[in-house]
Amino acid sequence: MLNKIQGHKSKIMIAIFIVLCFVLIRSFENQLFYDPLLIYFNADFKSLPFPEIDSFKLFLGLLLRYSLNSVLSLLLIYVLFKDMDILKFSSLMYLFFFLVLFGMFFIILNFFPDGNWLLFYVRRFIIQPIFVLLFIPAFYYQMQNLKK
């Protein structure tokens, strides 16, 4: 076991660095991104209307955050698996989820003023690196099954 860990020392260090980058993005989210919904969702938002939003600035802020999280996630997936097919598939999945989630986000924001819970969860998938938490175990399981 210890020999395996020592054999993958660089892989582990790079993975830890990428995870720390995720932490930095989360820590400095108020300074890095325009997102009035950060304050809105920290309050008791169940009965509050949506705040005034500059849709273009919000789109750019969410796009930047989603892009940073996606690039870091793809790097982490590549570091862990060293498989270009997995990386290509993951890239396509991130592009697909980008289109679906951003479409849903702005439809909810503009046409469903009472959809604050739905907006909360769609926004979570945009701003947090949740997909990498789903992809890594799935790819690991798939690789283990291919070895059998």
Dihedral (CA of 11, 13, 17, 20) sign? positive
d(CA 101, CA 137): 22
Which tokens in the block code for residue 27? 């820590």
pLDDT at position 1 = 60
pLDDT at position 46 = 75
Burial of 70 (0-12, 13-18, 19+ CB in 10 A): buried
pTM of the model: 0.89
pLDDT at position 47 = 73
pLDDT at position 113 = 81
pLDDT at position 86 = 96
User: Which residues does the chain have with pLDDT short of 50?
Assistant: none
d(CA 94, CA 89): 9
> What's at 81, amino acid-wise?
F
pLDDT at position 70 = 98
d(CA 87, CA 69): 15
